A and B are shown apart, each in its own frame.
Chain A
Amino acid sequence: MARNPTDRLVPMDGDLASTQQHIEPQTGPGSDQSRTEILEDGRIVNLETGEVTTPPDESVRTGGPSLSKQLDGDVPVVLFVRGARLSQHFADTLPAADRATRGQVGIGAVLPLLNAGLDARTQFLRQFTTNRLLLADPELFRAERSQCPDAKTLGPRAGRRSPWFVNAPAQDSPTDPAWVTEVLRVQRNAGATALVSATGWVDNAAPQRAMQHAMRWVSASRSQAPDEPMFVNLTFDHVWLTNPTLRNVLLHELVESSESLWYLRFRWPLTAPRFGQLVDPKVLDGYKELCSTAALEGKNLILPNSGLTGWVMSAIGATGFSTGIGWSEQAYADQPRFGSTRQNWRPPRVRYFESSVLHTVEHAAHLTMMGEPSYALCSCDFCRRLPLSAPTSAGWNKEVAGQHYLIATAALSSVLASRRPRLAAQRMVNDARTMVQKIASGPTPLAGDNLPKHLDRWLALLR
């Protein structure tokens, strides 16, 4: 594979110190209870002697697949997106996910550049080892001159911090190598281990032309990174998945192009409830066709901001997906317009992701589920810090619950690291359905937003 793109600096003293604080004993399922611990920087501590040793090759994270395996699409990949909240705990979350997945999943991170402070822009990704897939996303799809419904105009201050975003040319304007250089430079500076092309929203009004323009910018990006791993970075409205003409344009491009890495984001229709799953059968079918085509062509397809939909699609042919603790990291979707809806303000919900039903439920529903005899408490590093069995949500910590969600999602992906991922996923969804039925025969069935409505659709997809 390509040479390592990042001539990363040696971690600063502060970085090193902070990673050393997050020593996590190896307690993940299947990991042997040896008397050593692995630091985030890959070094090994002997708990008895206190001796710190460096593994033969420092660039190799112990217990995780190599970056080239991840880029070749040989292992499932899960990328955690840094959100507004909780970014400081990521140093804990990634190694915990490594343990929970027994090193069978490529656990990486995405830094959305726009809202990241200047420090985060140079330091966030550098806290991780370089054998992770680390992306710095320039979020160009919502650049001002894009046709994206969420196009964003930055104020003068924010604009000075992100000139590459403000200066993003319209896709149909002549390619501007200087600007492309700048977009790639910010990613390299951030410590990305793979780049994404200087492209964004692909409009659907004139699909063929819009796609050709986008690919023109992709080749402009490629010519400035001939030997580096670089994802074709495109964002579409979901009609590109549902409308056959648009979908054919997209799939034709995927098959035509010699590019092997694809980072494709789709703007979902309004998805209710928040933290629910995408259920539109036409969108799901479109995703399925995209993923199977990618798999047949040997392309590495990452579906950013797609949450558990990304997990199902990874069973069908995508290499992986990105998700995060907040809803906007889990899904890129149309938002309800406030004022036009009759929705009243409601207090923020306390939620918990239940692997056993593949759904995020409210705290009360979680308690109900615990009453079901076959329910197994999550044993991840974070759930041990949650009052999972407490009768009220008083001591509940949203951030920790969010970290549990990330670990649980990664653990689900480790199930896909098998020769028959589709079958493995089918079993999980089937089990979830059985669980829902069991609870339904009890005193308090799952109802409303707590009742998963996507399981049957997923089963149909996985068949």
Chain B
Amino acid sequence: MTTGNTAAPAWNGSIAELDAAEVIAATGAASVAFLGRGSYGETWRVERGHDSVSAVKFILHSAYPQQILDREIAGLRRVSDPRVVRLLDCTIVTLSRGDRPALEFEYVDGRDVARHLDSGDWPSLIDAEHFVRSLLGAVAALHATETVHRDIKPANIALRRDAWSQPVLLDLGLAKQLDVETLTVYPTLKGTVPFMAPEQLRGESSRKQADVWAAGAVAHLVLAHEHPFLDASEAQVLPEELLKRIESGPRAMPVQVPAHLQVLVWRLLSFEPHERGSARRALREMEERDGAQPD
């Protein structure tokens, strides 16, 4: 744990802009640790007391629109589900560069899915099925509050206590509360390319069904040990190329993946948003299946 002036780089090598003393001063913490940098700011683990640990995201980008932040927070506050990271507080903190918003989240103890997969830790098929179901549950819970994540990918799904059955959706950094009043259209590519739905890749507005797609792509990866459209070496794929692959359909899954999961994941990866069905529907189907099965 760093309490000195310069924070140690995050596990993935990203470097902090803030220094630990500044974060301690701004939060009144006993000790802090740098967790990582994102597009709008950086996240620190903040420990105020023995059982008071949280993850604070400092919005450093001064151009980050307050309005968007406000809406994001309103959406997040309405989600109360263990599968979605809990927002504890939103404050303005004083940093050396000026006053900045800080979002304080529950600290999720456990590494994210990307780190698990990078270190070769794949779930068993049974664990993978539990994971998929909880992930869909997380998406459904988020959507029920009219919030869209827009950036679901392995790095944004933490596993509580490193258990595959307990995924937690993180980093609602791009999540915005859905508000048809604004008719928002995103002209630029945002989110992370390999998990983007075709409509996102084409620069159209992304809605709930784009999250359903992303959950499908993550599910495919975790169940089949392969991305549905890309080879392991193709992380830097261009959107146009990915779109072409998507048009020719996802790759087949290994035979040992149960048929009902293959069918489900294929549906979640439908080109037409409505054909994917809602996360709520997918969740209901998985639950009904479980209920119908003798223990």
Contact = CB atoms under 8 A, between A and B. Distances in A.
A and B pair up: yes
Interface in B272-290: 272-274, 276-278, 280-281, 284
A258 B207 contact: no
B249 to A, nearest CB: 18
Contacts, number: 45
Contact of B146 (A248, A258, A298): A258
A60 interface: no
15 contacts: A209-B183, A212-B180, A212-B183, A248-B272, A248-B274, A252-B272, A252-B274, A255-B273, A255-B274, A256-B273, A256-B278, A258-B143, A258-B144, A258-B146, A296-B277
Contacts of A252: 207, 209, 272-274
Interface of B: 143-144, 146, 180-181, 183, 207-209, 272-274, 276-278, 280-281, 284
A297 B207 CA distance: 17
Given A251-B274, A252-B273, A255-B277, 13 more contacts: A215-B180, A216-B181, A216-B183, A219-B181, A248-B272, A252-B209, A252-B272, A254-B274, A255-B276, A256-B208, A258-B144, A296-B281, A298-B280
Interface string A240-261: 0000000010011011101000
B181 A297 contact: no
B148 to A, nearest CB: 9
Ranked nearest first, the 4 interchain pairs of A and B with the lowest CB-CB distance are A251-B274, A252-B274, A255-B274, A216-B180
A230 to B, nearest CB: 16
Specify the main secondary structure of chain A where it touches its partner: helix
Most B CB contacts (10 A, CB to CB) among A216, A252, A256, A296 go to: A256
Contacts of A212: 180, 183
Nearest to A209: B183
Contacts of B274: 248, 251-252, 254-255, 293
A175 interface: yes
Contacts of A254: 274
Given A255-B273, A256-B208, A298 B281 contact: yes
A298 B281 CA distance: 8
Nearest to B146: A258
A219 B278 contact: no
Contacts of B272: 248, 251-252
B180 A297 contact: no
A212 B182 CA distance: 10
Contacts of B181: 175, 216, 219
A282 B183 CA distance: 31
A427 to B, nearest CB: 27
A254 B280 CA distance: 13
Contacts of B273: 248, 252, 255-256
A251 B281 CA distance: 14
A212 to B, nearest CB: 5
A293 B277 CA distance: 8
Contacts of B143: 258
A298 B284 contact: yes
Contacts of B180: 212, 215-216, 219
A258 B209 CA distance: 12
A252 B278 CA distance: 10
A297 B278 contact: yes
Contacts of A258: 143-144, 146
Contacts of B278: 255-256, 297
Contacts of A219: 180-181
A395 to B, nearest CB: 53
Contacts of B281: 296-298
Nearest to B284: A298
Contacts of B209: 252, 255-256
A248 B157 CA distance: 30
Contacts of B277: 255, 296-297
Contacts of A298: 280-281, 284
